[in-house]
Structure 1
């Protein structure tokens, strides 16, 4: 039994990260990627598609930028809260890496152009703003482990959805910068280190779960706007 407990502890970092990937935004992003890829062909360019393709690209760029294009943001707030010396290298790389991502988002938003206004636009804007505020609250939490869980979940989820952002950038003829966020192995090592104490482990799990809920909420908002525009056509 002790051997099985030891093995479970040894794999905790990998399991934690894999759970983020399972519970994150990937399944919501996949249909959007499929739509953009499939509708690139000329025989798919019906009137509704001619409207919805650029509208979807603009929505993704705009709402990602609204939530994550500001400075300071979630990564910066979490880095200021987490004082564990062993986490500083990872946090520094995350802060510097996301500064590059922020610049990428800004350029993408300009290239994608304005969003397509739909019924209930102000309500949608308020929802996106609330999601951003909720993420920042998690990153600024005084509960030890919560900011770490939130920022780790955000970084891992962002990396998993970056291919869609890259695809849009290619369509808009933008140069795609290398993603400089921490590598999987470094994130796993950080998770293992920070989660050594059970109360911190629980707080990390809470921070991750809540951050992923906000991430999924953002992609659900984008997907709902996309489906509404297709239905209207």
Structure 2
């Protein structure tokens, strides 16, 4: 299975720094995201979330695809190749959900939201195409870890839309830990991986903040 909070807390070795970062900065800690997962927000908010998640991660090539082009070690490229293949299915799922969600809900300040999302997309692309050894892989690893939480939002939306979710095929937690552990033996690569991961988590937190602000603007309207 992909990562969950218990696995992040208990897997050891060099995973420690990456696991700690996932636990402190990952999307699971965002209160608005938790409300979406718990299905207590209006359907229009779930529709909004699906659209904006697709804007960030429904594109091809995406973070993991770009990272594959910058992998230098066999263990690194093998994991990213498997993750990229699995994420193709996640993109197809996203596209299906966007179609079921219908048009974006009318929201004040939409042009500003689009500008913010464009900047986030650009930042993610830059991270995933970094020539700094380990940075792109760290970004890909962070996306794979955080996707476990993001997927819960998508599955909640799917149930609302009458769509049956399917299991994700992203690499197993143990496989990801093995890759991180092997690469982290070189301090420079570990620092670069942590930087890439930290920045992905920051962009995701920015996304949840944006979606929460958009929901508030709709409620005030």
Displacement after TM superposition at 1:15 (Å): 4.6
Displacement after TM superposition at 1:26 (Å): 1.2
Residue 64 of structure 2 corresponds to which residue in structure 1?
A: 75
Residues 14 and 173 of structure 1: CA distance in aligned 2, closer, same or farther (over 3 Å) = farther
CA RMSD of aligned residues (A): 1.5
Q: Is the 2:135–2:192 Cα contact (8 Å) retained in structure 1?
A: yes
Gaps of 5+ in 2: 1-11
1:221 to 188, 210, 220: 210
Gaps of 5+ in 1: 1-9, 40-52
Residue 127 of structure 2 corresponds to which residue in structure 1?
A: 138
Q: Distance in 2 between matches of 1:86 and 1:204?
A: 15
1:20 to 8, 14, 22: 22
Give the TM-score of the pair, scaled to structure 2.
Answer: 0.89
Displacement after TM superposition at 1:11 (Å): 2.1
Displacement after TM superposition at 1:93 (Å): 1.4
Displacement after TM superposition at 1:183 (Å): 1.3
SS where residue 118 of structure 1 aligns? coil
Q: Is the 2:80–2:137 Cα contact (8 Å) retained in structure 1?
A: no
How many residue pairs align between the two structures?
208
SS where residue 30 of structure 1 aligns? helix
Is it true that 1:128 corresponds to 2:132 in the alignment?
A: no
Q: Is the 2:47–2:157 Cα contact (8 Å) retained in structure 1?
A: no
Deviations 1:84-139 (Å, cap 9, x if unpaired)?
11123211211011000000000000001111122211110111111011001000
Residue 100 of structure 1 corresponds to which residue in structure 2?
A: 89
Q: Distance in 1 between matches of 2:159 and 2:199?
A: 32
Deviations 1:161-191 (Å, cap 9, x if unpaired)?
2112111101111121210111111111110
Residue 52 of structure 2 corresponds to which residue in structure 1?
A: 63
Is it true that 1:171 corresponds to 2:160 in the alignment?
A: yes
Is it true that 1:89 corresponds to 2:89 in the alignment?
A: no
Which structure 2 residues correspond to residues 176-191 of structure 1 after superposition, within 5 A?
Answer: 176-191=165-180
2:149 to 160, 163, 180: 160
Displacement after TM superposition at 1:62 (Å): 0.5
Q: Distance in 1 between matches of 2:67 and 2:27?
A: 21
Residue 208 of structure 1 corresponds to which residue in structure 2?
A: 197
Structure of larger gyration radius: 1
Q: Distance in 1 between matches of 2:189 and 2:52?
A: 32
Q: Distance in 2 between matches of 1:168 and 1:18?
A: 29
Residue 11 of structure 1 corresponds to which residue in structure 2?
A: 13
